């Protein structure tokens, strides 16, 4: 057919082809900018989703840091605590479906973040995440120093890049305070007092960080239960300084806190790169943490085991993560906060908690095994890979943070 076309048409055809390709790619890049499919790389041409996939063994894989990292927290420093099978824990590599997960290059990342700061706000699972991040980044800047300002609980400053990465502890995000029972009221209901939660007031620890951080990662989750706040020490929710009537249960309280804190975050951190990390799953087997639950596994779970472990309908010990995610995901809809859905990939890793190797002889007798936090080096290093890739790709798309 083309044989019949006059010669001089070809350059025009070529030009037309390139022009339409150009407009197509321009159109697609516009779409990828405006589509806010959170977390997944929203390139129209791929189905890349970093959060879905499987773990494969890669015997050549080694962690980027060891037990000598000065930012470790003792109970998670599994190498120092001689946790068994650490080589095995760190020989698994997360393989997302239809896309590449690059391992973080700490030099490149710190260079990208030069003169900028990354903040984590939430509970100890975000601290676990932070410690991994600090130990990884320190590889590129041995002069890293401890940093604890502006209400930070733990953090580091990387002087060669003028970058600060820190964690602000705020387990419920909202401000909460213990209110001992007033004896003169004479009410004998068996309670010792209550925790007043001001749903519309951020906890002091992160109330004054606006303007400092360029990237923020929020979370809340495993404190919303009766282990942390039993009946004798309940949460009582306040709004505009007045108790909310009728009083809210735990899960409704979480919904109201999210409904207030998420708009607050969007208002207080305009133009910042915002992430929300979904629940980190626990792996208590044979009972909960205070019922001799254990996690002595030597390999990740299989995909077909996950529902048995985590599906709330099965009323299982570890159902909390998916239950809370449901509430949190709903609250994050129609916001521009990117969802870090690290739950699924972490669900596999029953093998990767500190378990009985806590660095203190009596710790297991008192607290039970730790099947909730993660060994470092370990699974949070993969969280770091994912977060840094999303930050990096976000910069490429929008030309800035």
How far apart, in Å, are the Cα atoms of 351 and each of 83, 308, 378?
11, 16, 10
Among residues 118 and 172, whose Cβ is nearest to ligand NAG?
Answer: 118
Of 1 and 365, CB closest to ligand NAG? 365
Closest CA to 126 of 23, 7, 40, 217: 217
* Distance (Å, whole) CA 310 – CA 155: 32
With binding defined as CB under 6 A, does residue 31 bind ligand NAG? Answer: no
Binding mask 97-126 for ligand NAG (x = CB under 6 A): ------------------x-x---------
CA distance 176 to 172: 8
Shortest approach of ligand NAG to residue 303 CB, angstroms?
A: 20
| Assigned token pair, 175 | 């401000």
Q: Which of residues 286-325 bind ligand NAG (CB under 6 A)?
A: 291-292, 296-298
Nearer CB in complex with ligand NAG: 32/88: 88
Q: Which of residues 135-164 bind ligand NAG (CB under 6 A)?
A: 162
Beta carbon of residue 213, minimum distance to ligand NAG (angstroms, whole number): 9
In whole angstroms, the minimum distance from the beta carbon of 282 to ligand NAG comes to: 17
What would the x/- binding string for ligand NAG be over residues 184 to 213, using CB under 6 A? ------------------------------
Q: Closest approach of Cβ 80 to ligand NAG, in Å? A: 17
Taking the least distance from each CB to ligand NAG, the nearer of 50 and 216 is: 216
Taking the C-alpha atoms of residue 333 and residue 32, their distance in angstroms, rounded to an integer, is: 18
The rounded distance, in Å, linking the Cα atoms of 376 and 167 is: 17
Least gap, CB of 202 to ligand NAG (angstroms) = 21
Instruction: Tell me if 109 sits within 8 A of 141, measured CB to CB.
Output: no
Angle 117-153-201 from CA coordinates, rounded to 5° = 85
Which token pair is 160?
A: 């060669």
Q: Which of 375, 369, 367 is nearest to 351 (CA)?
A: 375
DSSP element (H, E) containing 52: strand 49-57
Task: Tell me how many residues contact ligand NAG (CB under 6 A).
Answer: 11
Q: Which is nearer to ligand NAG, 68 or 298 (CB)?
A: 298
Using the minimum distance from each CB to ligand NAG, give the nearer residue, 201 or 363.
Answer: 363
C-alpha closest to that of 305 among 281, 273, 279, 341: 281
Q: Where are the alpha helices (DSSP H) in 2-112?
A: 9-34, 86-89, 106-112
Per the structure block, which two tokens stand in for 238?
A: 């306040």
Quick one: which of 84, 148, 181, 208 contacts ligand NAG (CB under 6 A)?
Answer: 84
The binding site for ligand NAG (CB under 6 A) comprises 84-85, 88, 115, 117, 162, 291-292, 296-298
């Amino acid at each position: 057919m083309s044989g019949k076309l006059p010669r001089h048409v070809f350059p025009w055809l070529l030009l037309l082809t390139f022009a339409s390709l150009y407009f197509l790619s321009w159109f697609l890049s516009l779409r990828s900018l405006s589509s806010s499919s959170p977390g997944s790389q929203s390139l129209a041409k791929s189905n890349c989703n970093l959060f879905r996939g499987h773990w494969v063994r890669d015997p050549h894989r080694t962690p980027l840091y060891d037990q000598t990292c000065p930012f470790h927290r003792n109970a998670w420093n599994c190498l120092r605590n001689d946790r068994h099978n650490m080589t095995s824990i760190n020989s698994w590599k997360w393989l997302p479906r239809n896309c590449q997960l690059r391992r973080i290059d700490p030099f490149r990342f710190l260079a990208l973040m030069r003169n900028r700061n990354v903040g984590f706000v939430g509970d100890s699972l975000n601290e676990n995440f932070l410690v991994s991040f600090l130990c990884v980044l320190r590889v590129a800047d041995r002069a890293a120093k401890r940093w604890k300002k502006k209400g930070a609980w733990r953090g580091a400053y990387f002087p060669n890049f003028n970058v600060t990465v820190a964690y602000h502890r705020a387990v419920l995000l909202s401000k909460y305070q213990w209110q001992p029972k007033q004896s003169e009221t004479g009410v004998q209901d068996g309670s010792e007092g209550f925790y007043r939660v001001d749903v519309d007031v951020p906890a002091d620890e992160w109330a004054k960080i606006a303007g400092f951080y360029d990237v923020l990662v929020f979370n809340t989750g495993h404190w919303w239960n009766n282990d942390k706040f039993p009946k004798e020490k309940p949460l009582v929710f306040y709004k505009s300084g007045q108790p909310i009537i009728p009083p809210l249960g735990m899960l409704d309280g979480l919904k109201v806190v999210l409904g207030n804190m998420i708009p607050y975050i969007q208002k207080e951190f305009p133009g910042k790169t915002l992430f929300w990390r979904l629940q980190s799953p626990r792996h208590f087997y044979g009972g909960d943490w205070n019922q001799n639950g254990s996690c002595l596994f030597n390999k990740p779970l299989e995909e077909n085991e996950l529902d048995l472990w985590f599906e709330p309908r099965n009323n299982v010990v570890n159902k909390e993560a998916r239950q809370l995610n449901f509430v949190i995901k709903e609250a994050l809809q129609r916001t521009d906060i990117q969802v870090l859905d690290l739950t699924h990939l972490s669900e596999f890793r029953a093998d990767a908690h500190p378990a009985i190797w806590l660095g203190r002889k009596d710790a297991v007798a008192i607290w039970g095994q730790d099947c909730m936090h993660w060994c470092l080096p370990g699974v949070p290093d993969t969280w770091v890979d994912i977060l840094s890739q999303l930050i990096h790709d976000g910069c490429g798309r929008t030309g800035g943070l």
